[in-house]
Every structure is written in structure tokens, then in C-alpha cells.
Amino acid sequence: MYKRILLVMTLIFSVSGLSAAEMKVGYVNLQKVMASIPQYQAIQEKIGKQFKAREDELKKLMKKGQELQEKVQRDAMTMNGEERQKIGREIEELEIEVKLKQKYLQEDANIAQAVEQRNLSAKVQQAISKVVQQENLTLVVKIESILFAEPSMDITDKVIEVMKNP
């Protein structure tokens, strides 16, 4: 990773003819940006509402399965073999249905989350570009890519402010 950053900086210096003194670098903490902006919380709420009915349906199915299991345990002595077998099959069918619905719900929620994240990431990128122009920066890197930087080079709060006040 360090070699990659060094290579990028070398290329920038050689192509643009900038000296180290003329280069203005900043860094951004994208995790902090995402956690701090209201758009991210809105996405979480939207997805929660979007899938609430399906989650409630799953909870009802699981409760029904649990009630059937409790019935079998409670009334096992008084049930004949046919009744136990019938309830056992019903429990198995419920378990299969729950697992399948959980899987589909998780897949659909992941897809919805990815789409919303992609859209929000594009907006964050625009905010970073705006800060780059305002601050006249030459290079911006993710905080995860650097070993040390002066706190004055951190543009995270400025990006958050742009996102909060577009």
C-alpha cells in the first residue's frame, strides 16, 4: 500500500511538475463521514420501513412454530402418533418457510442497502470534490491509506458540513 501511494505521488510530481512544497494534500475518514451525515440515517430508516412488513411476517411464523413446539411438548402424552406426526410435519414446513423467507429478506435488504450506499457514495464524492476545490487541494487520500498525517490535513469535518448543507 505504501509503495502504491509513493508511486502515485511520484507520478503526480513528475507529470504536473509540482514540487513537494507546492503540493497540498488532505485526507478523509469516509467511515466517520457516513456515520455523521443525516442522509445515512435516512437510508437506514427507509430500508427498515421498507422491510418491516416482511420482518413482522417472519416473527409471526417463528412464533407459530414455537407455539406448535410447546404444544407438542405439553401434550405429548395425550397425543396419538398421527397427531404428533401431523404437528411435526407442520413444524418442519414452518421452519423451511421461515428459513427461505429469511434468506430472501436478507438478500433483498442487502441489495437495497447496496443501491442506496452507491447513490450516497456518489454524493459524498461530490462533497469531497467541492472541498478539494474550496481548499485548493492537489491530492486527497483515505485515512486508512496513511500512516501519519497532521490533523490540519483532515478534511473529514468539512465534507460532513458540505453533506449537511448542500
pLDDT in tens, 7-20: 555 555 554 554 55
Enter the C-alpha cell of residue 31: 467511515
Q: Which fold is adopted by the domain 2-7+15-164?
A: Protein Binding, DinI Protein; Chain A (3.30.910)
Mean pLDDT within 14-32? 75
Tell me the per-residue pLDDT of 74-101, one tens digit each, with 9 for 90 and over: 887 888 888 888 888 999 999 999 999 9
- In the chain, what percentage of residues exceed pLDDT 90? 66
Check residue 118 and give left, alpha or beta (phi > 0: left; psi -120 to 50: alpha).
alpha
- Angle, CA 161 vertex, CA 160 and CA 163 arms, to 5°: 65
What confidence tier does 34 reach under pLDDT thresholds 50, 70, 90?
A: very high
> Contact, 123 vs 30, CB < 8 A?
no
Give the residue with greater pLDDT, 164 vs 84: 164
25-31 average pLDDT score: 94
pLDDT digits (tens, 9 = 90+) for 36-64: 999 999 999 999 999 999 999 999 999 99
Q: How far is CA 104 from CA 32, 39, 40, 56, 60, in A?
A: 31, 26, 24, 14, 16
One-letter identity of residue 46: K
Nearest 10 degrees: Cα torsion 105, 107, 111, 117? 90
Distance CA 39, CA 24 (A): 29
Would you give the DSSP letter of residue 146? -
